[in-house]
A and B are shown apart, each in its own frame.
Chain A
Amino acid sequence: MKTKLCALFLCPNFNHLVSRNMSQDIHIKKGLDIKLVGAASREIAPATSPKNYRIQLEDFHGLTPKMLKKTGETVQSGEPLFCDKDRPEVVVVAPVSGLVQEIHRGERRRILSVDLLADSEQKHVKHSVVDLNTAQPEQIKALLLASGCWPLIKQRPYDVIAGVQSMPKGIFIAGLDTAPLAAELDFVLQDQVAEIQAAITALSKLTPSVHVSLPAQGSAVFSGLKDCQLHKVSGVHPAGLVGTLINRVDPINKGEVVWTIQAVDLAIIGKVMTQGIYDATRTVAFVGAGFEKNQYIALKQGASMFEALKQFGLKSGSRVINGNVLTGKKSCKEGYLGYYNTAVTAIPEGDDYEFFGWNKPITEKVSITRALTFSWLFPNKKYNLNTNTNGEHRAFVVTGHYEQVFPLDIYPMQLLKACMIKDLDEMEALGLYEVAPEDFALTEFVCISKQPHQQIIREGLDLLQKEIG
């Protein structure tokens, strides 16, 4: 009786009282679409063939590399470059065949990146494929590990490369990307439906259920998929984040593990399953106001972006971001494509002062308030945002703003504070197992106190994994 009363009086929303699996359709109201100028047109630019490749270790959070190739050795495309020291079966493979040119090391000889020089003629490692209809889970796992596909599978809790022994209660895949200027998945994956289906069929052997989200209006790529549960998703960002899908479909409880895989990586996995070849090629969107031209181009993981950036007319004074503006990593005009990226964004740097920027009316920036900010008047306007923080770091003051852009059944500010004070019990109780840093990108965007939310969550996850995981 007491708990029922509590439930009645203390429920902030009543969604959870309805069974989550009742409806397959998900609509996200709490969130924010940040509309920026510079979306990629549906055109694929002629491919450049970069010679230089770099695998950056910052892309593999939590992985301690042990080199399997030395400087000066040759590799084939798909041949292991390094493995995880703690789990040698997890390998990262070369995206091209060529020469291991240099291994960059930082403090205490920590490996930062591995440079490759591509051969003009490409040789692929070919694995023997399995019959997906009769394959055993162990066979599929072995192929994923050997082919170098394993790092494409991430797990929650902790948002790290999946544990080899972990038994996921579900595998979740976002079939739509609602991030600002995201690549259109239906466009970049249009010719790879067969590979994606093969990947899903293979993955469905490893878990009780594979969940795929897709746009409510349907999708040429995802609508017809078999061996998985499809969830139609509509609404504002973060509708397309896999964390939102998990929270709505089957939230993670203590002791449970789910896997997440990017839709574009299904194409890589699918090709391994059907042809035995690891093909690192992606159709990458070059977006944002920092380019003269916004188009797609085919690039392999780790490829030098130098020529592509030149081809798309990178403007001076722009920041190049590996990924989208909310979660991407800072790069530069000599940068290399990140391991997981489907988009490269360039936006103007904002390293300039603004006279009385805090009190004059603002029409050229995005805000969820109406404090002399007028973006609410123009819901369809596209903005040219720069990297200025628009204010300084402060203590948490305002409340209620994060909740407007955070659709998960979690208290965002309370969880952030639990992470900041390193209170493991609270972190666990408030739902840290369910989230990844990217789930806090929007709260970070709207934060008046300019707190580094994603970093706080990342550090919290690392601490929790070290102490409990």
Chain B
Amino acid sequence: MSLKDKLHETKLKFQGKKMAPAFNAIHTFLYTPNETTHSGSHVRGADDLKRTMNTVIISLIPVMLFSFFNAGYQHFSAINGFPAEFNMWEHFFTFDNLWVGLTTILPLLIVSYGVGLGIEFLFAVLKGHEVEEGYLVTGILVPLIVPVDTPLWMLAIAVAFGVVIGKEVFGGTGMNILNPALTIRAFLFFAYPTWMSGDKVWVHQAVERAGTADAISGETVLGYLAQNKAGEYTYSVSDMFFGFIPGSVGETSTFLILLGGLFLIYSKIASWRIMVSAVIGALVMGLIFNAVVNAGWITETSKFYDLMNFPFWQHLIVGGLAFGIVFMATDPVTGAQTELGKWYYGFFIGFISVLIRVFNPAYPEGVFLAILLMNVFAPTIDHYVVRANVARRKKRATSLPNIQTAH
């Protein structure tokens, strides 16, 4: 008897039982079910939610692989100094670098999926619904948006919080108001603020070495800027764009994020409207800050001087902005759902991200806060867009000559 038949028989055995959703989740992972249409259209399109989620995961794989190497590269460079003549194969794609990445990032990934999917299965069994695929993407996003040395217990608590409070209490996948991955990120930030910010968390071992003779620094570009030390970092624009800088695990390589974004747009899975308008929003805010500096309204003594003076377009290639725009803002569940609303939604994400980034006294980054804020406002934006359609319909009814009708 083939595996297919065996699984089919097991499925029949589980039918109606409490554990059925758990079994079905694994079964449908292996085999698309034998379900046929029974109402409405007799044929259906090729895509399902699993395929959609899988496409997002595919777009994240290059970022993930790069982050493995960059974790090691940043670690060794912080200890030994950045190589004078950088060679991609000698200094970056080395086994030592990869090993650091594998030993630090894989555990994050495993904890993220383990805890998150565990809770999803638990809720599915308790509430008797199928396991929905939302966490497949959240699970890979989470390790990519946290610092490399995030303690696993912290991550586990944050994931549990994010999945239960951010998603399940609203009714699970498709019903949540806030992006679950960002809820997890926000929980980490607000629950463990001393751990999650500062200059010591971005590079592997920087925290444990702090205060010892071997202390290393892992300041991010934005960290330097926030302290008005723009002159002290040595990263070139190319370093920033290709991602050879410290930062959260997966956020550094704008280049690979851009590739992932293009793939998502090409495959029609993510909204290009949100991405484009968010970039425009960020550029506009960056330009405004540049203009403020150029107009001489603030001087070099201002604590915001370096962040405001930062060339407006470079905001896109440092910090988490690019990652947030491509992979977080485009979450269809928590974003604006009308095509027009997406323009407004994206624009304000970019705009507010740079705003918070510059003015946040605690932490020079604002992407996750901006997206969470706009998550909350997305239904309001949609409301006004839809009301315009409704108003048009009402107006049409009153402006036309009334034809007498009776039933």
Q: Does A136 contact B (CB under 8 A)?
A: no
Q: Are A353 and B8 in contact (CB under 8 A)?
A: yes
Which of A37-45, A47-55, A119-127, A384-392 interfaces with chain B? Answer: A384-392
B40, B174, B269: the one within 8 Å of A369 (CB): B269
B54 to chain A: which residues have CB within 8 Å? 358-359, 371-372
Binary CB contact string for chain A from 247 to 279 against chain B (1 if under 8 A, 0 otherwise): 000010111110000000000000000000000
A349 to chain B: which residues have CB within 8 Å? 36
Q: Are A357 and B388 in contact (CB under 8 A)?
A: no
Q: Does A366 contact B (CB under 8 A)?
A: yes
Interface members, chain A 221-255 (any B CB < 8 Å): 251, 253-255
Q: Are A392 and B33 in contact (CB under 8 A)?
A: yes
CB distance from B345 to the nearest CB of A (A): 11
Output the residue of A167, A357, A371, A399 with the most chain B CB within 10 A: A371
State A447–B45 Cα separation when bound (angstroms). 7
Q: Does A22 contact B (CB under 8 A)?
A: no
Which of B118-126, B308-316, B395-403 interfaces with chain A? Answer: B395-403
Q: Are B35 and A10 in contact (CB under 8 A)?
A: no
State A369–B263 Cα separation when bound (angstroms). 12
A386 to chain B: which residues have CB within 8 Å? 36, 43
Binary CB contact string for chain A from 354 to 384 against chain B (1 if under 8 A, 0 otherwise): 1111110010011111111101000000000
Output the residue of B40, B134, B339 with the most chain A CB within 10 A: B40
Q: Are B42 and A371 in contact (CB under 8 A)?
A: no
Question: Count the B residues whose beta carbon is within 8 Å of the partner chain — how many?
Answer: 74
State A368–B44 Cα separation when bound (angstroms). 11
Q: Is the interface of A mostly helix, strand, loop or mixed?
A: loop
Q: Does A11 contact B (CB under 8 A)?
A: yes
B42, B52, B58, B174: the one within 8 Å of A326 (CB): B42
Q: Does A283 contact B (CB under 8 A)?
A: no
Output the residue of B43, B386, B396 with the most chain A CB within 10 A: B43
State A444–B44 Cα separation when bound (angstroms). 7
State A430–B391 Cα separation when bound (angstroms). 10
A254, A387, A391, A440: the one within 8 Å of B51 (CB): A391
Q: Does A166 contact B (CB under 8 A)?
A: yes
Binary CB contact string for chain B from 12 to 44 against chain A (1 if under 8 A, 0 otherwise): 000000000000000011111111111111111
Q: Are A10 and B172 in contact (CB under 8 A)?
A: no
Q: Are B49 and A397 in contact (CB under 8 A)?
A: yes
State A409–B34 Cα separation when bound (angstroms). 36
State A372–B54 Cα separation when bound (angstroms). 10
A16, A256, A368, A445: the one within 8 Å of B403 (CB): A256
Known A371-B268, A373-B46, A391-B32: A453·B40 in contact at CB below 8 Å: yes
Name B's A-contacting residues (CB within 8 A): 4, 7-8, 28-52, 54-55, 58, 130, 132-134, 171-175, 266-269, 271, 332-333, 335, 337-340, 342, 382, 384-394, 396-397, 400, 402-407
CB distance from A179 to the nearest CB of B (A): 11
Known A167-B406, A368-B268: A397·B333 in contact at CB below 8 Å: yes
A253 to chain B: which residues have CB within 8 Å? 393, 396-397, 400
Known A388-B36, A452-B39: A375·B46 in contact at CB below 8 Å: yes
Besides A327-B40, A367-B45, 17 other A-B contacts (C-beta < 8 A): A7-B392, A12-B385, A253-B397, A321-B42, A330-B38, A345-B42, A357-B31, A357-B32, A387-B42, A391-B47, A399-B271, A409-B389, A410-B389, A430-B390, A445-B44, A448-B48, A448-B49
Please list the 3 inter-chain residue pairs (A to B) with the smallest Cβ-Cβ separation, ordered nearest first.
A391-B48, A395-B174, A357-B32
B173, B385, B391: the one within 8 Å of A397 (CB): B173
CB distance from A404 to the nearest CB of B (A): 8
Known A12-B340, A441-B40: A390·B407 in contact at CB below 8 Å: no
B339 to chain A: which residues have CB within 8 Å? 12, 400, 403
State A323–B8 Cα separation when bound (angstroms). 32
Name A's B-contacting residues (CB within 8 A): 3, 6-7, 10-12, 16, 34, 36, 163, 165-167, 169, 180, 208, 251, 253-257, 319, 321, 325-328, 330, 345, 347, 349-359, 362, 365-373, 375, 385-401, 403, 409-411, 413-414, 429-431, 437, 440-441, 444-450, 452-455, 469
B47, B134, B171: the one within 8 Å of A390 (CB): B47
A180 to chain B: which residues have CB within 8 Å? 43
Q: Are B332 and A165 in contact (CB under 8 A)?
A: no
Q: Are B40 and A437 in contact (CB under 8 A)?
A: yes
Question: What are 11 A-to-B residue pairs whose CB atoms are below 8 Å?
Answer: A12-B389, A166-B405, A256-B403, A319-B36, A366-B45, A371-B54, A388-B34, A391-B44, A397-B49, A397-B134, A448-B47
State A385–B43 Cα separation when bound (angstroms). 7
A392 to chain B: which residues have CB within 8 Å? 28, 33, 35, 48-49, 130
Q: Are B340 and A358 in contact (CB under 8 A)?
A: no
Q: Are B52 and A371 in contact (CB under 8 A)?
A: yes
State A319–B54 Cα separation when bound (angstroms). 31
Among residues of B, the one whose C-beta sits closest to the C-beta of A364 is: B46
A356 to chain B: which residues have CB within 8 Å? 30-32
B41, B332, B405: the one within 8 Å of A169 (CB): B405
Known A371-B52, A392-B28, A398-B52: A255·B405 in contact at CB below 8 Å: yes
CB distance from B120 to the nearest CB of A (A): 13
B267 to chain A: which residues have CB within 8 Å? 369-372
A256 to chain B: which residues have CB within 8 Å? 397, 403, 405
State A386–B44 Cα separation when bound (angstroms). 8
A450 to chain B: which residues have CB within 8 Å? 44, 48
A359 to chain B: which residues have CB within 8 Å? 50-51, 54
CB distance from A364 to the nearest CB of B (A): 9
State A354–B340 Cα separation when bound (angstroms). 38
A10, A36, A365: the one within 8 Å of B45 (CB): A365
A375 to chain B: which residues have CB within 8 Å? 46
A441 to chain B: which residues have CB within 8 Å? 40-41
B50 to chain A: which residues have CB within 8 Å? 358-359, 391
B335 to chain A: which residues have CB within 8 Å? 399
Q: Are B45 and A394 in contact (CB under 8 A)?
A: no
State A411–B42 Cα separation when bound (angstroms). 24
B33 to chain A: which residues have CB within 8 Å? 353, 389, 391-392
State A10–B174 Cα separation when bound (angstroms). 25
CB distance from B44 to the nearest CB of A (A): 5
Known A413-B337, A445-B45: A354·B31 in contact at CB below 8 Å: yes
Q: Are B388 and A11 in contact (CB under 8 A)?
A: yes
Q: Are A7 and B52 in contact (CB under 8 A)?
A: no
CB distance from A36 to the nearest CB of B (A): 8
Q: Are B55 and A371 in contact (CB under 8 A)?
A: yes
B35, B338, B403: the one within 8 Å of A208 (CB): B403
State A399–B342 Cα separation when bound (angstroms). 10
A357 to chain B: which residues have CB within 8 Å? 31-32
B130 to chain A: which residues have CB within 8 Å? 392-394
A367 to chain B: which residues have CB within 8 Å? 45-47
B404 to chain A: which residues have CB within 8 Å? 167
CB distance from A290 to the nearest CB of B (A): 11
Q: Are B45 and A368 in contact (CB under 8 A)?
A: yes
Among residues of A, the one whose C-beta sits closest to the C-beta of B57 is: A359
B41 to chain A: which residues have CB within 8 Å? 325-327, 441, 444-445, 454
Among residues of A, the one whose C-beta sits closest to the C-beta of B130 is: A392
State A448–B174 Cα separation when bound (angstroms). 12
